[in-house]
């Protein structure tokens, strides 16, 4: 079975804010992601990792749909 590695397609990551909390941001723009009108900041590291992972999975799924 071939396992696709979509990590090079990732568009989202997490970083620690100056206040010490975590935020999800877009790699290309550096801007904090806003989801349903709420910026994804002030998160626990586990929350930020999970949200960034879900966003990257969805983005990769959409990209595969455009190429297959």
pLDDT number for residue 2: 33
Predicted confidence band at 26 (pLDDT cuts at 50, 70, 90)?
very high
Q: Which residue has the tokens 């930020």?
A: 48
Give the separation between CA 55 and CA 51, rounded to whole angstroms. 6
- pLDDT tier for residue 65 given thresholds of 50, 70 and 90: confident
Tell me the domain boundaries of the chain: 11-67
Task: Tell which wins on pLDDT, 57 or 1.
Answer: 57
- Work out the pLDDT band at 28, boundaries 50, 70, 90: very high
Distance of CA 64 to the CA centre of its chain: 17
Q: Provide the 10 A C-beta neighbour count for residue 44.
A: 10
pTM: 0.81
């Amino acid at each position: 079975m071939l396992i696709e590695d979509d990590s090079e397609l990732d568009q989202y990551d997490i970083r620690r804010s100056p206040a010490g909390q975590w935020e999800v941001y877009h790699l290309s723009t550096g801007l904090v992601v806003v989801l349903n009108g709420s910026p994804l900041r002030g998160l626990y590291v586990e929350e930020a990792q999970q949200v960034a992972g879900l966003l990257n999975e969805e983005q990769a799924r959409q990209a595969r749909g455009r190429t297959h």
